[in-house]
Structure 1
Amino acid sequence: MSSPCDPQHAPVGDVGAVLMLIDSRLKTIHEGKTETDPEQQALMDQYVASLGPKGFNDVLDGACTLIYMFMTWLRKAHESQDKDVIEYVVPTLVGSMRMMTKSVRPEVVPTMTGLVVAAGIGLSPNLWRNQYGDWTEEEMTPLEVTAFLLAEHINRITDDPDFATRMITEALSRSDES
């Protein structure tokens, strides 16, 4: 029986734009900076403001697609070691989000956790989230944080600071070819 949250029914969104944002954050952290360069942040803010409502929804869908792709990779990596991705990824993710009190309000941690669990069991995170109503402004930064933390988790597992970004870029390139 097919689920209404099956990824085949989900819009892909603008994965490239979200990947650009996440990659920028990853590079900032790996350069040892604690804050985003104000000029770079202004460019990102200007880009996001230029999107309009449809573009903004495409970015939301793209973030969820990215989370799905990261969790799919993590699930396969964990299964190859006879481990459960939910057991090994979710507690670390929740612990990290709970420490990020300036970016992630406690009340949105369950929603972000639900997105990750949905993706981890093969459901579309955006379709799962949509059943609970519209996205809230309070969920925007935590959504980015969730994608960032998953990418960083993958990079740590692979001991390669660019692995997650490269993996998605290669997948996007393959999909453009077909």
Structure 2
Amino acid sequence: MDAALLVIDSRLKALYNGKAETDPEHRRMIDQFAASMGPAGFDDLLDGACTLIFMFMSWLRRACEDHEEDVIDHVVPTLVATMRMMPKTFRPEVIPTMVGLLVAAGTGLSPNLWRAQYGRWTEAEMNPLEATTVLLAEHINRITGGDHDFATRLITEALSGVDEA
């Protein structure tokens, strides 16, 4: 999961530095990093992205419950609207899969296991999966007062708590 968090944090930093699109050099470095991991490492990266979605949605679910709101009502419409504004990243046919991951995580189900019932990930789903995770992290950062590192710190602190246990 560390590799997935590194990729997401890198994308967030690029976004906050005014680079909505990753520059070609940065994209090449991420692609080389993923390629160097091999097939097992790549599967770990996918599992890490799904785990991040689960952890982000779990945090959001608890935050929504504190305000007597439903996490699905709070998150999904906003992210779907954003996905629809990004047709190069989110082709219409991948939006239901990305929404399914959010809903699964929002209801306490493992996105990894939910997605596994539909077979292996396709190449066309890689960029949308990454972008969904980034959008979710950015949503958390925005609702926590614009702290650009909140979502990353949330995961880092959770992981350090597990390491100490």
TM-score using structure 2 length: 0.96
Distance in 1, Cα, partners of 2:135 & 2:20: 15
Once the two structures are TM-superposed, the CA of residue 32 in structure 1 deviates from its matched residue by: 1.2
- Listed one character per residue, the Cα deviations across residues 96-137 of structure 1 (whole Å, up to 9, x for unaligned) are 111111111110100110010000000000100101111111
Shift of 1:42: 2.0
Any unmatched runs of 5+ in structure 1?
1-14
Q: Which runs of 5+ in 2 are unaligned?
A: none
Which amino acid is 2:163 matched to? D
What's the counterpart of residue 54 of structure 2?
A: 68
> SS of the counterpart of 2:114?
helix
Partner of residue 97, structure 1: 83
- Residue-by-residue CA offset, 1:153-176 (whole Å, 9 max, x unaligned): 000010111100001011111111
Aligned to 1:78: 64
Total equivalences in the alignment: 164
- Does 2:68 align with 1:54? no
Code of the aligned partner of 2:134:
F
Residue 162 (structure 2) pairs with residue 175 (structure 1):
yes
Task: Give the structure 2 partner of residue 45 of structure 1.
Answer: 31
Counterpart in 2 of 1:158?
144
Identity across matched positions, percent: 68
Secondary structure of the 1:60 match is helix
TM superposition shift of 1:51:
1.1
What TM-score, normalized to structure 1? Answer: 0.89
User: What is the CA–CA distance in structure 2 between the aligned matches of 1:170 and 1:34, rounded to whole Å?
Assistant: 27
Q: Which region of structure 1 is more displaced relative to structure 2, 97-106 or 36-45?
A: 36-45
RMSD (CA atoms): 0.9
| SS of structure 1 residue aligned to 2:67 | coil
Are 2:129 and 1:135 aligned? no
Separation in structure 2 between the aligned mates of residue 124 and residue 115 of structure 1, nearest angstrom: 8
